[in-house]
């Protein structure tokens, strides 16, 4: 059992201000696997003060991007030999299948150079011709960043928040989810060993109340949130009152459009990968599958055959495809949606039950056929291994169905004609869309959603630019910009 007694505040291990603790329960065994201190508002005050101090002193923001990048490269180098440890701990915390979370964790740790390259590609000082002379467009770090993350990929999410903020010159305070605080400590340990200057990074475990205190803190200049749409609305309201800059990466109910020329032999595994990652607990999962009516019976048969063969069990086993849901509360939520789907008249053609496993919060992968896009199971984010098959007659109808949603985060088009796929993808109202083997979640480009799936973009150059304030400095006529 892992028991942490200190908080990571401003780059140092400190005694918590309170005595309450967060107990971490494994969704596999339903037993406690560790605990961490529960952060208090006073701990947030300390973290914000440390961040404000290091930002005001200016040493970090005056470094070049290459100099800041050297620290992040060292953090990644120190985490690399601990990847297996990080993967196993995340499996314990939230039940992610080993293969899936290892791919995510390796990608984020070993992919630090991509963030660095994107940061270097962004001009922090840019000269432009104005109507009456030269304009200097100057980008400066926005200030103290509060980052609030969910539980469905803790190490990749922590790194995904701190990489761009630190590269842009901003100190960052991360609040991990109460379900998965243990693995965040690995990142803190690497930051200490890498010699990251004091004040730049704090990691404060806590619940919703602590998150609200953090994002509403007057010393916070920017908020970066990943989580549910309901929580995002609340955060947007708080940030709106203070006019705090914010990025919201929220929920989804994404559509996978199978065109009539889809090659099921080639694309069915890709469809499953897009629709059932991490036990269905991924915001951009394509859980609405739009099928041409003339091929509906064939697609249903093939999909049921493939999904029914997926291995459900202990996610530490590298051969397991589906592990438990993160909590008993989440399992209850998923099961309630399955009951609603039946009442609405949809037909369960696969799954829909608990597997015969003695412990753990499991639900077998479930497929509904005969789904109308007006049904609750087709409109609300379930966040579990539940797929809806929806028939269409024409491509225009498929696009209309895909767009008939309050969400717009992910999407997919499967076709033997990539050019046609791009045309369809460009008409789907969403922040990201894959075609066939294309990666989900933006594939390394900017990531974010439209409509109720969020505000702003993360990752790539657009994500890093959001951590800067942009100032226009008009230069006098006749001044040579080369002198700057």
Active site residue 249: yes
Sign of the alpha-carbon torsion through 124, 130, 134, 135: negative
Comparing CA positions, the residue from 228, 170, 147, 183 lying closest to residue 453 is 228
Is the domain of 330 the same as that of 236? Answer: no
Name residue, tokens 């001009």. 123
Specify whether the backbone of 169 is left (phi greater than 0), alpha (psi in -120 to 50) or beta: left
pLDDT-based confidence at residue 480 (cuts at 50, 70, 90): confident
* 265 and 236 assigned to the same domain: no
Same domain for 190 and 63: yes
**pLDDT value for 195:** 98
Q: What is the CATH number of the domain that holds 314?
A: 3.40.309.10
Confirm whether 440 is domain-assigned: no
Query: In sequence order, what are the beta bridge partners of 69?
Result: none
Task: Give the whole-angstrom CA distance, residue 162 versus residue 174.
Answer: 8
- Predicted TM-score (pTM) of the model is 0.95
Q: How confident is the model at residue 483 (pLDDT cuts 50, 70, 90)?
A: confident
Contact between residue 109 and residue 80 where contact means Cβ atoms under 8 Å apart = yes
Distance (Å, whole) CA 31 – CA 27: 8
Q: Which two tokens stand for residue 341?
A: 């789907």
Helix (H) or strand (E) holding 13, with range, is strand 12-14
In this structure, are strands 454-455 and 245-249 parallel, antiparallel, or unpaired? antiparallel
Kindly list the distances between the CA atom of residue 296 and the CA atoms of 271, 287, 311, 386, in Å, as whole numbers in the listed order: 15, 16, 25, 18
The average pLDDT across 150-155 equals 97
Which among 48, 68, 32 has a CA at the least distance from the CA of 220? Answer: 48
Q: Look up residue 295 and give its two tokens.
A: 């091929």
Do 240 and 311 lie in one domain? The reply is: no
Taking 90 as the threshold, does the pLDDT of residue 193 lie above it? yes
Q: Are residues 167 and 275 in the same domain?
A: no
Point out which residues pair with 322 in neighbouring strands.
312
Mark whether 402 and 368 lie in a shared domain: yes
Q: Give the pair of three-digit tokens for residue 112.
A: 């630090």
Residues 285 and 364 in one domain: yes
Catalytic residue among 170, 239, 283, 388: 283
Give the distance from CA 447 to its chain's centroid: 9
Residue 7: the pLDDT is 98
Please report which confidence band the pLDDT of residue 1 belongs to, taking 50, 70 and 90 as the band edges.
Answer: confident
Question: What's the whole-number mean pLDDT along residues 424-446?
Answer: 95
Token duo for residue 192: 């200490």
Q: Which two tokens stand for residue 81?
A: 């030999």
Contact of 124 with 173, CB cutoff 8 Å: no
In a domain, 139, yes or no: yes
Q: Which residues pair with 141 in a beta bridge?
A: 468
Which tokens go with 280?
């269905």
Average pLDDT (307-311) is 98
Are both 280 and 318 inside the same structural domain? yes
Residue 481's pLDDT band (cuts 50, 70, 90): confident
pLDDT reported for residue 376:
98
Q: Give the integer Cα–Cα distance in Å for 87 and 82.
A: 9
Length reported for the chain:
484
Alpha-carbon dihedral 38, 143, 162, 66, rounded to 10 degrees = -150
What gap in Å lies between CA 295 and CA 257, rounded to an integer? 13
Q: Which residue is catalytic, options 179, 249, 335, 458?
A: 249
Region 403-423 average pLDDT: 98
Cβ–Cβ under 8 Å, residues 96 and 323: yes
The whole-number pLDDT of residue 482 equals 78
133: β partners = 130
Looking at the structure, tell me whether residues 322 and 369 fall in a common domain: yes
Q: DSSP assignment, residue 476?
A: P
Tell which phi-psi region holds residue 409, choosing left (phi > 0), alpha (psi between -120 and 50) or beta.
alpha
Residue whose pair of structure tokens reads 């090659």 in the numeric block: 263
CA dihedral 73, 79, 81, 83 (to 10 degrees): -130
- pLDDT mean over 152-169: 98
Instruction: Reply yes or no on whether the pLDDT at 132 is more than 90.
Output: no
The total of structural domains in the chain comes to 2
Tell me the residue range of the domain where 405 lies: 255-435
Burial bucket for residue 3 (CB in 10 Å: 0-12, 13-18, 19+): exposed
Active site (annotated) includes residue 59: no
**246 and 261 part of one domain:** no
User: If you average pLDDT over residues 314-323, what whole number do you get?
Assistant: 98
41 within domain boundaries? yes
pLDDT in the model for residue 478:
80
Mean pLDDT along residues 152-178: 98
What phi-psi label fits residue 352: left (phi over 0), alpha (psi between -120 and 50 degrees) or beta? left
Most distant CA pair in the chain, distance: 80
Residue range 95-117: average pLDDT?
Answer: 97
CA nearest neighbour of 145 among 117, 115, 175: 175
Q: pLDDT confidence of 225, banded at 50, 70, 90?
A: very high
Q: Give, in degrees to the nearest 5, the angle at Cα 355 between 105 and 361.
A: 50
Same domain, 337 and 203: no
Strands (E), 185-316: 201-203, 222-226, 245-249, 255-258, 288-292
Q: How many CA atoms lie within 13 A of 65 on its CB side?
A: 23
CA-closest candidate to residue 316, choices 23, 24, 36, 29: 29
> How far apart (Å, rounded) are the C-alpha atoms in residues 214 and 238?
11
Average pLDDT, the chain: 97
* Cβ neighbours for 240, distance < 8 A, ≥ 6 positions apart: none
**Which residues contact residue 41 at a Cβ distance below 8 angstroms, ignoring those fewer than 6 apart?**
210, 213
CATH code (residue 207): 3.40.605.10
Residue 478 maps to a domain: no
Q: Do residues 299 and 182 both lie within one domain? A: no
Does residue 435 contact residue 413 with C-beta atoms inside 8 Å? Answer: yes
Cα gap 134→104, rounded to integer Å: 45
Quote the tokens at residue 1: 């059992």
- Mean local confidence (pLDDT), 17-31: 97
pLDDT tens-digit map of 247-305: 999 999 999 999 999 999 999 999 999 999 999 999 999 999 999 999 999 999 999 99
The answer to whether residue 170 is domain-embedded is yes
pLDDT at 377 over 90: yes
**2-16, 131-145, 388-402: least confident range:** 131-145
Q: What is the pLDDT of residue 105?
A: 98
pLDDT at 330: 97
The whole-number average pLDDT for the span 47-57 is 98
Contacts of 196 (CB under 8 A, 6+ apart): 11, 71, 75, 166
Residue 69 included in any domain: yes
Structural domain includes residue 161: yes
Instruction: Give a yes or no: residue 444 inside a domain.
Output: no
């Amino acid at each position: 059992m892992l028991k942490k007694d200190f908080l990571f505040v401003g780059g140092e291990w400190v005694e918590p201000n309170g005595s309450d603790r967060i107990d971490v329960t494994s969704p596999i065994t339903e037993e406690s696997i560790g605990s961490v201190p529960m952060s208090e508002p006073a701990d947030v005050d300390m973290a914000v003060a440390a961040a404000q101090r290091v930002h005001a002193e200016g040493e970090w923001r005056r470094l070049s991007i290459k100099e800041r990048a050297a620290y992040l490269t060292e953090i990644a180098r120190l985490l690399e030999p601990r990847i297996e440890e990080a993967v196993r701990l995340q499996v314990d915390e939230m039940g992610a299948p080993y293969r899936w979370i290892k791919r995510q964790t390796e990608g984020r740790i070993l992919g630090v150079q991509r963030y660095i390259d994107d940061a270097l590609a962004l001009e922090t000082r840019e000269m432009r011709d104005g109507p009456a002379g030269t304009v200097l467009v100057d980008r400066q770090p926005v200030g103290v960043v509060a980052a609030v993350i969910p539980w469905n990929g803790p190490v990749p999410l922590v790194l995904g928040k701190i990489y761009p903020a630190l590269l842009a010159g901003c100190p960052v305070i991360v609040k991990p989810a109460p379900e998965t605080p243990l693995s965040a400590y690995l990142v803190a340990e690497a930051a200490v060993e890498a010699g990251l200057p004091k004040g730049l990074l704090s990691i404060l475990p806590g619940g919703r109340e602590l998150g609200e205190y953090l994002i509403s803190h007057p010393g916070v200049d920017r908020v970066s949130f990943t989580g549910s749409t309901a929580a995002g609305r609340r955060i947007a309201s708080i940030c709106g009152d203070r006019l705090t800059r914010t990025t919201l990466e929220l929920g989804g109910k994404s559509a996978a459009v199978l065109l009539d020329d889809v090659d099921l032999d080639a694309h069915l595994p890709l469809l499953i990968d897009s629709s059932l990652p991490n036990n269905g607990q991924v915001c951009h999962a394509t859980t609405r599958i739009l099928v041409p009516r003339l091929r509906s019976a064939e697609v249903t048969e093939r999909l049921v055959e493939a999904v029914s063969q997926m291995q459900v069990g202990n996610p530490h086993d590298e051969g397991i495809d589906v592990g438990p849901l993160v909590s008993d509360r989440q399992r209850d939520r998923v099961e309630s949606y399955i009951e609603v789907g039946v009442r609405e008249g949809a037909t369960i053609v696969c799954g829909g039950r608990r597997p015969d496993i003695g412990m753990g919060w499991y639900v077998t992968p479930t497929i509904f056929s005969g789904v109308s896009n007006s049904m609750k199971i087709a409109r609300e984010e379930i966040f579990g291994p539940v797929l809806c098959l929806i028939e269409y007659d024409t491509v225009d109808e498929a696009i209309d169905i895909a767009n008939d949603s309050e969400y717009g985060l992910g999407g997919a088009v499967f076709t033997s004609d990539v050019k046609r796929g791009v045309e369809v993808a460009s008409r789907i109202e969403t922040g990201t869309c894959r075609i066939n083997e294309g990666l989900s979640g933006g594939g390394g480009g900017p990531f974010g959603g439209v409509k109720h799936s969020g505000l702003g973009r993360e990752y790539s150059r657009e994500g890093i630019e959001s951590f800067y304030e942009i100032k226009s400095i008009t230069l006098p006529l006749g001044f040579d910009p080369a002198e700057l």
